[in-house]
Structure 1
Amino acid sequence: MHIWRRQKKSVLMFKAGVCLAALLVAGWLAMPLRPAQARLDELIRTDAPYQLPPEMSLKEKSVPVAAATPRVYIVRDGDTLSEIAVRHRVDVQTLAEMNHLHDHDRIVKGQALMLPGTAIPYTVRRGETLSVIACRFGVSERELTETNNIDDPDRLLAGQRLMVPAGQGGGETPISRALPLKQLGWPVVGWISSVYGMRDGAMHEGIDIAADYGQKVRAVKDGRVVFAGPRGTYGITVIIDHGGGLRTLYAHNSRVLVCEGQRVRAGQPIARVGSTGRSTGPHLHLEVLLNGIPVDPMLCLNRTYA
């Protein structure tokens, strides 16, 4: 009797196991076929940045910025200042004064010229009023108010961002400049491995300078560091603001030697050459930007460092 009960129990357990297995197989067959994937820590995405740039801080998000957009013209081969002035319906003398051009015949391909209607960003300092800023830059309070959609001209906050219309003249502070042609020092000693321009069907907005890993990267001009750290496919990056709308960007470094907000002098070490971000070997990617518009750095570089 006991033997018969044990055999019956074994048969029932076997049947239950068969049913469970059948259900599992049926469920597996009903699932859509998917390719095997690597573990998350093994995945390498070629269609996305290695690391996203840091998000804007809450303080930066709260600062009102006008929607005005700088108007910049990049000089083409064969252009003359008078032709550009006619094309954009502006007086040639006004165009020259806006861009601090002493010689009307001396413009070169790739040079960035600001046109009337350009607005330059300005950060309000403690104690400043709209009238003080207007006087400093030679613009009217009304223009500042309308450009920045200011409801109360008597209420400005320290740190508030304004867009100041350029090219008005008469102010004590020049707010528009041409590119510093042949005035910037070289950031590293090396050879140009990739020039500015189209590359593999896309725009390469700077130059690549092949250099030894760990070599010091130097600031090309006096300025203030506005970014220092990882920046997507640029890797470890330093950005320096030189004033007048001019900024330089140094990418793919192995480490930074400065911090955000720090003032630096021309020739001061700011980073070390590396191959971070989307890079195939140690080199420095250098960009020169005027009001956010990238231009050919070779127009600006003058000498090499010893």
Structure 2
Amino acid sequence: MANKTYTVMVVSDHNAPVKRYHIQKSLIVQLAVGVALVASVATGATVHYFQVAKDAAENRILRDENLTLRTQLKSVRERIEHIGSTLDRVERFDQKLRAVTMLSDPQRNLAMGPTEPEPGTTSPTTDTQFTQLTTNDKPEALMGRLDKLSAEATRQEQSLQELQAYFQDQRSLLASTPSIWPARGWVTSDFGQRLDPYTADRIMHQGLDIAAPHGKEVFSPSDGTVVFAGLEGGYGNVIVIDHGYGIKTRYGHLSKILVKAGDRVKRGALIAAVGNTGRSTGPHLHYEVRVNGIPQNPRKFILSE
């Protein structure tokens, strides 16, 4: 069986003799094994080729994604540096504003932004506090820096809100300061000691007497709320306006009252007319300014000529 052979006959189309070839079975088996082996290798090579091609495509995608991520990471670093620089500038500007507005005065009971480091700590207001970033920073490190930036931004927001409240308060204070003349005329009696026109005694005159024609307009010198409008003894017809911050103004001897208690008035609003009511020797406006109930010289509040 081991030497079994196969005969292959080749018959020509012409009258040539028939050719016979004897092929051993073992040779055929070896040939079949060789073909199978070659086919197997070819199949494996083909599969490997496609796998390598697939891996190469995936590697290209990963390289592209990696390049995109690096670009985005660089952008994040740049944005962190920009935000950090902006916060540094805001911090310095905040301190300048506080220095100008005297918000560091402890009597104002307002928190001052840190200008000096606390013991055992470093100053937070350095130009490189948030900008010392390197190309080797990992996402975890960047997240930590972002958390610090967020905390600093919150602190700055609170500080700026405090400054905003201060400036709003100052704006309200300026609007409440009686800074214009309530009536146009001439001052016949100033603030201070004077002789009483009725008794000739030397007494304290707690306001200004502004002589003007009967019926001359009287204006509110600042924003406020009318707290009294009516008769008051020797002052005759009187208006009292509360401007806030302990400031009140009084207008006496009026011929006509054009507002009532509870009315809100603005600076320059028409509130009354000059008269001669009460204890008066002629048409004029008696004008007083009181701060926390204490009479003040109205002239020191008036800014207009």
For the superposition of Structure 1 and Structure 2, which TM-score range results when normalised by the shorter chain? 0.3 to 0.5
Larger Rg: 2
TM-score by length of 2: 0.42
Higher helix share: 2
- Report the TM-score when normalising by structure 1: 0.42
Question: With CA pairs under 8 Å and 6+ residues apart, which has the higher RCO, 1 or 2?
Answer: 1
